[in-house]
Amino acid sequence: MLIVKSILVVLVLVALVAVGAGQAGLLRGRDPTELGVRDGRLRPPSSTPNSVSSQAALYPENPQRAYADIAPLKLQGTGPQTIARLRRIIEEMPGAEIVKSAPDYLQVRFTTRVMKFVDDAEFWYDPSVQAIQVRSASRLGSKDFGTNRRRIEEIRQALAAR
């Protein structure tokens, strides 16, 4: 019985330390420096299963290409109109912060409420394919447990519904 209580006390302490670290901003990770569009491409997906990208197929050497692959978003009007719609949708999402906004590009930071983990997302109007290319990646950890994919699919559904 004493061993079980000791284990429970340790687990509670570990959880409190983890939440404290998150609240102190220690789990935010670093701001990425290489986001944006270069040569008609967004940044490649991560080499670990913690990101999604509609351009994953452009990086066949990436070991997580299949995990990362996600369809681009369909236009709802013109490219700039769709980016504006995306901005309005995202501004209503909890933990979302617009970092950069242009008629053809949107960069967003998503922060979880309790642990303060940060995911960075990009949306770019690609005129060559008449679609919105998307990339979303966790800053920390080697797995995202499907969080980035779920978020992008939620945004896709909201965009189609408007």
Residue 70, domain CATH: 3.30.310
Per-residue confidence (pLDDT) for residue 31, from 0 to 100: 82
CA pair distance 78, 84, nearest whole angstrom: 10
Structure tokens at 103: 């008629």
pLDDT score of 123: 98
What DSSP line would sit under 50-83, residue for residue? SEEETTGGG-TT-TTHHHHB-PPEEPSSSHHHHH
Average pLDDT over residues 5-33: 65
Asked if the structure places residue 16 within a domain, the reply is no
pLDDT higher than threshold 70 for residue 30: yes
How far apart (Å, rounded) are the C-alpha atoms in residues 61 and 72?
A: 20
- Domain assignment present for residue 1? The answer is no
11: confidence class by pLDDT, cuts 50, 70, 90: confident
| CA distance linking residue 77 with residue 85, whole number of Å | 10
Q: How many domains does the chain have?
A: 1
Q: Is residue 108 part of a domain?
A: yes
Asked, for residue 27, whether it belongs to a domain, the answer is no
- Alpha carbon separation from 97 to 69, 90, 106, 121 (Å, rounded): 24, 8, 11, 10
What pTM did the predictor assign? Answer: 0.85
Residue-number span of the structural domain to which 140 is assigned: 36-161
Residue 5 within any structural domain of the chain:
no
Instruction: Examine residue 20 and state whether it is found in any structural domain, yes or no.
Output: no
